[in-house]
Amino acid sequence: ALRSKVLRRATNIFERSSLEAGAKLLEEAVKSSDGSNPTEFTSFSEEKNRQSYVSQQAALEGLEDVNGVDDDGLPLVYSVERIAKFWDTKPGELAERWSRFLRISTPFITRFFYSLLNGRLWEDEASLASQAVDNMQELGPTFVKLGQVLSIRPDVLPPKTMKELARLQDDIETFSNEEARKVIEKEMGKPVDEIFSSFSEEPIAAASLAQVYRATLRETGEEVAVKVQRPGALSTVSKDLYVLRRLADVVQPLIRRFTADETDYIALTETFAEGLYTELDFRNEALNALRMEELLKESLGESSLEKIIIPRPLMPLTTRRVMLSQWVNGVKLSTLPKEEIKELIAIGQEVFLTQLLDIGFFHGDPHPGNLLKITEGEDAGKLCLLDFGLVAQVPRKDRDIIVSAVVHLGTQNWEALIEDFQELGFLSEDTDKDALV
């Protein structure tokens, strides 16, 4: 018993010293990175100033200047170079955020690497996931959004981690109603009481980037949902994306040095950053919703269209930070009994497969909070799709290859399936087919 106690004590000391050493190593690695712009990621070097679909649409509609900036000088369209240039002129603010990020995240990152290098990831998964979610909540909206994106990826993350990340879909801290009213009045140019005859005292729902109120338009009497962006969201998000990008620059070489993982985390960071930055302009979300409704009307049959609803945005009353849309009464699918969920599975599959394989324009954030079953009114029983802030396009060529891959998977034609994956860029051209088959 004494020997066992001594061994446990020695192990605890070793683990603690390893974690402390790892934390110091990470901190020094970050500090040693020079003050230059984040490194270019090689996979998409020719697309370093990529402009997303929604930004293109906004430009076409005359809503967006791709080189525009806000009152503080922050770019309104995502560009890693321009964001880096902005924050490099504010070393004090950046250093403060770096310090907070390192203080909160370093213990988790070092624990993760310790578990990875010692073959304990499965054993430590639950506690690591819980710690990661706590860190995301403490770090704020950017990291909460990152967790929400990961929470709908069972193909990437194991069940225990998914369960912990699901906490980020509901347990979101709200900001004050006074702040929300100030945002509305600044964006709309009028007092809230002049625009609405009624306005809920508390938010009906809260998300990582915004919260929603129920209101009635004074002029028309129409009941609407009012989505209000968190104050200072652009500044906070852009700063965090800069931090994440610099972190990817530091961590990716370490991962490749100590593991066989060849994932391009810098490219993944850029993709996430572009999508999140685009979500900060609610006019893009409104345009996406209108476009999706139009495309689905062209592609779905009448009987299927009668089973879904996309709340109609009110474009004349939608700005960068405030969005008005048709009010609907519904409940999240995740809160329904299994029998009711089953009733909506068929139409849900049809709608999302149509988006992906037919029209090539799909909802990129279908977590449970964005899928409702309508419970009242003439649309009762319908599947409701919310929040089109994050969408993506799939070119026709890629859609055809995806269909081909599904066929080859069903027929167990593994060699053809590997070729499909190579054409899609999932596998490199020099992949050893024989070894995979």
φ/ψ of residue 368, rounded to 5: -55, -30
CA dihedral 262, 267, 269, 271 (to 10 degrees): -130
**350: burial class by Cβ within 10 Å (0-12, 13-18, 19+)?**
middle
- 388 with 53: CB under 8 angstroms? no
- Cβ neighbour number for residue 17 with a 10 Å cutoff: 10
Beta bridge partners of 325: 225, 313
CA torsion sign for 228, 77, 74, 96 is positive
Q: How far is CA 357 from the centre of its chain?
A: 22
Taking alpha carbons only, the member of 175, 248, 185, 179 closest to residue 209 is 175
CA angle at residue 147 from 31 to 347, to 5 degrees?
155
By three-state DSSP, how is residue 380 classified? coil
Task: Give the span between the Cα atoms of 13 and 133, in whole angstroms.
Answer: 26
Of 249, 281, 365, 420, which residue is the catalytic one? 365
Tokens of 264: 């391009």
Tokens of 161: 């981690």
Task: Give the span between the Cα atoms of 248 and 33, in whole angstroms.
Answer: 12
Beta strands at 210-217 and 205-206: parallel, antiparallel or unpaired:
antiparallel
Which amino acid, residue 155?
Answer: D
Task: Give the span between the Cα atoms of 366 and 364, in whole angstroms.
Answer: 6
Task: Give the span between the Cα atoms of 92 and 89, in whole angstroms.
Answer: 9
Taking alpha carbons only, the member of 428, 435, 425, 432 closest to residue 405 is 425
Task: Give the span between the Cα atoms of 301 and 306, in whole angstroms.
Answer: 9
Taking alpha carbons only, the member of 131, 169, 157, 189 closest to residue 316 is 189
Taking alpha carbons only, the member of 424, 432, 418, 100 closest to residue 243 is 100
Is 365 part of the annotated catalytic residue set?
yes
Which amino acid, residue 231?
Answer: P
Which residue numbers are catalytic?
Answer: 365
